[in-house]
Structure 1
């Protein structure tokens, strides 16, 4: 091209000369031409996320907005040039040893921004770190361990500490120890391959044409202009999709490509396959779709209103109804000394993993290989096979950049697989950030009418709640948030009388799906708000009110299931001195305050159920010829720490070094279905199955008096052993009352939030969150606290900022993704009471702090300024409107 430019620069110590167009950005050169895929892309060239950070002439820059033409003569360093797994940089060592690497997608950018900072300042303050990493986003950690990693790296660089000293302090045993995650160093050095890092020779790139209507008839789809665009191989519409063209989760209702109706903004209507991604996107923009708008119903109440119309032809908009009845709530409420009540709503939220919803499909013979991002790979494979009418599918999962429930459902796998089957070629789909948001499921909005009754001593006598769950355009997993909210409805408390009905409705507002906690976070917001209101009405301290109403062994949960152990009051005792200190601090601050800032402290609790009755987990372990052990388990680890859990448990039970344990966990070909890595179930179910398999193997080794492959063979023993765990509980709950078997065990949490509220603007800032938790013996403390800290951060976003609005939420700025400047101090207190049905006494922990954070924050807002927030998120406008008149 006449306007192309020759650019010479040095990259990772090697001189390069390239000829580029004036518009080419550095990230495209690095990833597409030089195949340096350690540099990641999330925000689609908007400079919002920092995942693409590299160093140019000693300064951290966003490579997605840096023109290649501007770096002539420059020295560029990417994460690959900083260090390797065998010879890592001190910063990479620090991120691994501090536990700052979870999913790992943001890690390379974080590390490069840290390198630029520490090159200039070897003793940074937290304020310095916030300034340097202000545009580097992380969804997993809540940033706490990012701070710890940078301070550790600085101490290494100053020579005050060394990685060797840190490693030497790690106890030489598998259990209860913060061993670095198995994949952490690969992620820290940019060697771990995520979906978009895979390049298949001859693969087509694809793009979709999406609906711009929330609900409409599709009158015509004109692809003629798109077909003529440069590089286009072909265009396909619904008529070209093989099979049923419908994804079934609970019911078959989600088209792969919409044919005659679009049900939500962003639905896929056509696919363009081209030689390059840019060509595919340009051609997709030329597809002309004509619509006839239909009635739009974006809330549950709109969807069941008298003038509502059915969204799908096969049934009403009300798609799930589940009652729960325990005792006689109506009579108890009539006799109550006090009743508090309200309407509470929570919003649709994008789970917001940084990695785009990438899928790559290729053929291995006649087998279609789908490289996707699922936490339930066997279910994903089955759904694709049914919808596409093609049984020969192998599902594989690369490293995954976070998920938080979003990958319990398909997002882009179905359109990519359909294209691969239609064009009979490998296909790669790397969607933009807005497309990733349109095509993926979201946290369900709840609309709850609730009342809580107490007697004259402040003891809860009844709870009454009716709630609607907005499942959006497709049912997906709508049954789950309804049933889980009801199962855990009484949370930490003894409630002798409950009347509840949970309903789910279709709407035209996005598509609901699994999200961290899946139901209890929404229900807990209503309950914990009412608990605070009741405590105030009774004149009882908020913590004492919760403690005196705690469930006790021998009493029944909302489902009537009798508990045998209940550690919640221990959590109250752990947090009490912090609560008393915070109340005193707040009172003293507000007494002296003369400006616009007021402080508040709030508390909230939850007891989260683990282990659905009759749930089953299964896997296998096998002794390899070199005497190592391979675990074959369909257990995803998109950042939670399941790889560490599996490795450390196996090493403990078999009394073997951890480096002899191998994992085969992300492919369907040699594993069996394990169910979703969601709801905090993997340590409980997957870990339990692993212990069973390892104990069988250990018994065989003990009997044969050998730990070797050859020894087992010589003794006539198998080298492969299956493991199974079945969660206790038989039968089903009564469908009219939901009384019956419930979650096998529970984890407990009580959380305290300290906030500042600007009474002039309504803006709220979280200063600190303190939490007390008991989830049984901790396998890896660093991974454990990392999950808790990340849950707190997501809970604060849920409370204050985050909302997904189809057609308006387009990127991380419009979503209000939490940055490091939104971070806050955390303090965690842990009690490790063994659970009888747990995995060596342990359970899962992923959801605890997510569930109780939002009501702790809104209760703190009320304490600060008198604004009772019933409708999330607690935006400045809502806080101002809720403040009592002066």
Structure 2
């Protein structure tokens, strides 16, 4: 190690530092100085998270070695641009325009934008976008449009055309902040770099041991032996932990709750014992004084494997001659039926129009910019405390206590400020790893995965294979649907029961379909574990049914929008599951879309050329609000001595704006008290301080917490109210012995019902959201490359609670939908280890013309008329893109993503006059035979 003293001017101040110029990067040095506003994401220069200004130029500090930096260089980090008490216009604009969601990318973007405005104070939107493209600034949450909006607004302030006061948020004259763009309370820390995320917290834990994981490098094998002796001798190593060191049963105890499941759900070990089922299985964990020492020692852990055949997708494990992959349960371990109306075979025989197809949705990675990071320690009271990302804090307690061998009542879960999740953090796996490590060493521990480790270990969107046929009469009314959909659940059964329900509910939504049969399967493979991802379970359904809708419209010679219009739910209609809705906005949504659609068709016809063909596609979507029957949530409102009110909740914030949601709900519910918004305090996401919220999933949080907040607010105001109608102070309540804290509860019991295991009929969730997507694309004929030029969403998510938050969910969902349609995948274990290799949707692949409109139909059971919102926006935008490709050049892509080579091959086949048909998938038997058997042998508790 060659140590060198250097002098640098950082944020205008001369700083002396000592580093190893050969191994240290500029990011390493900056962060060691305590300037942790500079975040580190990919560590390979692809995401721009770590951007700083070096001698006037934007650089990615994670790949800038100190040996290439001159003494006396001038460096600007986010901390040198503005402070919480003295914001730069860019920082305020980021807050106001919704540039902050998870906020992990915000410092890098703001630093990059500062360098742009230093040289060009009047950029065009395209120049801003090109700047971010050139400097590799990546965002996963926002769709990029709000970021460009923020730069344009900040530039106006800096040119003197607008003041900071003009830019800032103002409470409306009527005092109502509900429905406005009230800023997120957490945004201030995020735009100034003062917010500590998991890795920042870990490096500021002085006594923490750093962990490194040992992965198998294969997807299926017997684990014959583990030799840790050489690793244990490495410098700084405290302990090498294997399954033998786990104090509990070494299992993630997550029941597979589906009544028809042939697996119990207790199949995932925390540390591998005798089998490897996928590349993310952790064989051992090294605990050492530093991250570098832990990683060096991890390379010295030796293990012996007996390689077994790797079954990397479920077409292999559903094959008739496939061996049983996991000895504990069959390869197809859930087969759930959908049966509605009359015999579909007879209906289809008599129906004039029938289309059929087979479709594949890929294993879409979440591609968050913050790799998974966790910390754990046992506090002075013997409480195992885990800091992590989590979509459901309490599930870590329920699922880990027996596995790690610690009493549930002595486990505390705290959510770190989180660099996004989009669902993968529902899994308690990495919290299990750090729990085992801290219990085995007796010391605090911290880990931040490399991006490659993150890709292999964390869950992905479940791939799916589907076969389906759709029938309609001569008037274009749908008469019948038959389908089977099989989800590739990967190596373990985690959340399989929930996704099986989605496969029964969203194929064919949001259309009136009187007769239907379906079969939803969950199946094992040796690939990444499948887990929650925004829109959970529904995008795979729409890949099938929203393409069938276009195929049918084409067959009968009807416009795709008009075909949808005559078939969408209308007042009193039932879903495919036999449930009715509180609102029926789809005809109005399509009416609102119609003029935009006609304009898009005319534009495509006018601008299309033989070399670059343009097309238009639409897709409808629907998603549930609340997660399951008998959903339940609790919050607490407490009056404080200074007259403020604290909202205690575990509304896990992954970047969706839970903090702003809690404030606007509380403010609206307590309007009679005349509080200012800044008098509402938040105590969030710590199981020791707030009651159980349930998962931040199923688009449930705004709806559930809103109703619980209203309940708590009513109790608090009733307690404060004096006989004359005025309100008691905190001191008066204490003097009179009146409690100052009240628990608000909301439960959907009585509003919902489980799906019937024999028919799939039922209404498991309390509310729904509805929408439609319009995509305009250009296909380069010579290469097959598709570019999305515009995308529009028209949605009804009830009364909007915070317009900036809802817009952010919509724009980000559409961006990730574009990625699902065209590029994103985790299937190649060498290529799909980083953002670029996995097909990440950068700014040049995302159109600036992303727009949203809302129809606000109040939900009768919703708080202030609201429902949820987030997951609708990722339900079917990808299919709008696929349908647009077909509209542009006459080829349909049945298997996603529609990479250029796939589109080009289809175009070449079409040019040769070949008919392009999908392959029909074998899914373990004939659909009709299975349904006939189920009808003849219905499930009862006895069998």
TM range (shorter): over 0.9
| Contact 1:623–1:630 (Cα < 8 Å) also in 2 | yes
Decide which moves more: 761-770 or 800-809: 800-809
Instruction: State how 1:741-780 maps to structure 2 within 5 Å.
Output: 741-780=763-802
Instruction: State how 1:271-286 maps to structure 2 within 5 Å.
Output: 271-286=285-300
What residue in structure 2 maps to residue 152 of structure 1? 153
What residue in structure 2 maps to residue 30 of structure 1? 30
SS of the aligned residue for 1:837 comes to coil
In the alignment, the residues of structure 2 paired with residue 722 and residue 80 of structure 1 have an alpha-carbon distance, to the nearest angstrom, of 40
In the alignment, the residues of structure 2 paired with residue 712 and residue 613 of structure 1 have an alpha-carbon distance, to the nearest angstrom, of 38
Q: CA deviation at 1:155?
A: 0.8
What residue in structure 2 maps to residue 471 of structure 1? 489
**Are 2:242 and 1:243 equivalent residues in the alignment?**
no
What residue in structure 1 maps to residue 844 of structure 2? 821
In the alignment, the residues of structure 1 paired with residue 123 and residue 295 of structure 2 have an alpha-carbon distance, to the nearest angstrom, of 43
SS of the aligned residue for 2:885 comes to helix
Deviation per residue, 1:470-492 (Å, 9 max, x gap): 10001110111220231233311
Within the candidate set 801, 811, 816, 1:789 is matched to 811
What residue in structure 1 maps to residue 259 of structure 2? none
What residue in structure 1 maps to residue 658 of structure 2? 642
In the alignment, the residues of structure 2 paired with residue 564 and residue 306 of structure 1 have an alpha-carbon distance, to the nearest angstrom, of 44
**Are 2:585 and 1:567 equivalent residues in the alignment?**
yes
What residue in structure 2 maps to residue 49 of structure 1? 47
Q: CA deviation at 1:384?
A: 2.0
| Contact 2:466–2:483 (Cα < 8 Å) also in 1 | yes
In the alignment, the residues of structure 1 paired with residue 580 and residue 384 of structure 2 have an alpha-carbon distance, to the nearest angstrom, of 48
In the alignment, the residues of structure 1 paired with residue 321 and residue 468 of structure 2 have an alpha-carbon distance, to the nearest angstrom, of 26
Within the candidate set 180, 185, 194, 2:183 is matched to 180
| Contact 1:559–1:742 (Cα < 8 Å) also in 2 | no
**Are 2:152 and 1:140 equivalent residues in the alignment?**
no
What residue in structure 2 maps to residue 557 of structure 1? 575
Instruction: State how 1:470-489 maps to structure 2 within 5 Å.
Output: 470-489=488-507
| Contact 2:777–2:884 (Cα < 8 Å) also in 1 | yes
Structure 1 unaligned runs (5+)? none
Deviation per residue, 1:736-772 (Å, 9 max, x gap): 0011233322211011000000011000000000111
Deviation per residue, 1:10-38 (Å, 9 max, x gap): 1122211222212211111111x212111
In the alignment, the residues of structure 2 paired with residue 713 and residue 510 of structure 1 have an alpha-carbon distance, to the nearest angstrom, of 55
Distance 1:297 1:689, change over 3 A: same
What residue in structure 1 maps to residue 360 of structure 2? 345
In the alignment, the residues of structure 1 paired with residue 765 and residue 688 of structure 2 have an alpha-carbon distance, to the nearest angstrom, of 31
Within the candidate set 815, 819, 825, 1:803 is matched to 825
Within the candidate set 468, 478, 492, 2:510 is matched to 492
Within the candidate set 291, 309, 314, 2:305 is matched to 291
Q: CA deviation at 1:632?
A: 1.3
Within the candidate set 849, 867, 874, 1:850 is matched to 874
SS of the aligned residue for 2:596 comes to helix
| Contact 2:635–2:691 (Cα < 8 Å) also in 1 | yes
In the alignment, the residues of structure 2 paired with residue 613 and residue 215 of structure 1 have an alpha-carbon distance, to the nearest angstrom, of 37
Within the candidate set 240, 258, 269, 2:272 is matched to 258
Q: CA deviation at 1:303?
A: 1.1
In the alignment, the residues of structure 2 paired with residue 17 and residue 723 of structure 1 have an alpha-carbon distance, to the nearest angstrom, of 54
Decide which moves more: 799-808 or 727-736: 727-736
Instruction: State how 1:159-198 maps to structure 2 within 5 Å.
Output: 159-167=160-168, 169-171=170-172, 172-198=175-201
Distance 1:222 1:770, change over 3 A: same
Using the size of structure 1 for normalisation, the TM-score is: 0.98
What residue in structure 2 maps to residue 270 of structure 1? 284
In the alignment, the residues of structure 1 paired with residue 668 and residue 59 of structure 2 have an alpha-carbon distance, to the nearest angstrom, of 44
Deviation per residue, 1:235-264 (Å, 9 max, x gap): 111111110111122211111110111000
| Contact 2:140–2:369 (Cα < 8 Å) also in 1 | yes
Q: CA deviation at 1:707?
A: 5.0
What residue in structure 1 maps to residue 78 of structure 2? 79
Q: CA deviation at 1:618?
A: 1.3
Q: CA deviation at 1:211?
A: 1.1
Instruction: State how 1:130-529 maps to structure 2 within 5 Å.
Output: 130-134=129-133, 135-167=136-168, 169-171=170-172, 172-198=175-201, 199-250=204-255, 251-328=265-342, 329-365=344-380, 366-391=382-407, 392-529=410-547
What residue in structure 2 maps to residue 720 of structure 1? 741
Aligned positions, number: 880
| Contact 1:410–1:440 (Cα < 8 Å) also in 2 | no
SS of the aligned residue for 1:324 comes to strand
Deviation per residue, 1:390-448 (Å, 9 max, x gap): 02221111100111011111242111111110010011111101111122111000100
Moved over 3 A (4+): none
| Contact 2:377–2:438 (Cα < 8 Å) also in 1 | yes
In the alignment, the residues of structure 2 paired with residue 806 and residue 418 of structure 1 have an alpha-carbon distance, to the nearest angstrom, of 30
The CA RMSD measured in Å over matched residues stands at 1.4
In the alignment, the residues of structure 1 paired with residue 445 and residue 366 of structure 2 have an alpha-carbon distance, to the nearest angstrom, of 26
SS of the aligned residue for 2:267 comes to strand
In the alignment, the residues of structure 2 paired with residue 168 and residue 608 of structure 1 have an alpha-carbon distance, to the nearest angstrom, of 32
SS of the aligned residue for 2:793 comes to strand
Deviation per residue, 1:64-84 (Å, 9 max, x gap): 111223141111111112111
Q: CA deviation at 1:169?
A: 4.9
| Contact 1:438–1:806 (Cα < 8 Å) also in 2 | no
**Are 2:879 and 1:881 equivalent residues in the alignment?**
no
Using the size of structure 2 for normalisation, the TM-score is: 0.92
In the alignment, the residues of structure 1 paired with residue 140 and residue 171 of structure 2 have an alpha-carbon distance, to the nearest angstrom, of 27
In the alignment, the residues of structure 1 paired with residue 765 and residue 433 of structure 2 have an alpha-carbon distance, to the nearest angstrom, of 36
| Contact 1:295–1:309 (Cα < 8 Å) also in 2 | no
What residue in structure 1 maps to residue 115 of structure 2? 116
| Contact 2:752–2:765 (Cα < 8 Å) also in 1 | no
SS of the aligned residue for 1:248 comes to coil
In the alignment, the residues of structure 2 paired with residue 12 and residue 363 of structure 1 have an alpha-carbon distance, to the nearest angstrom, of 38
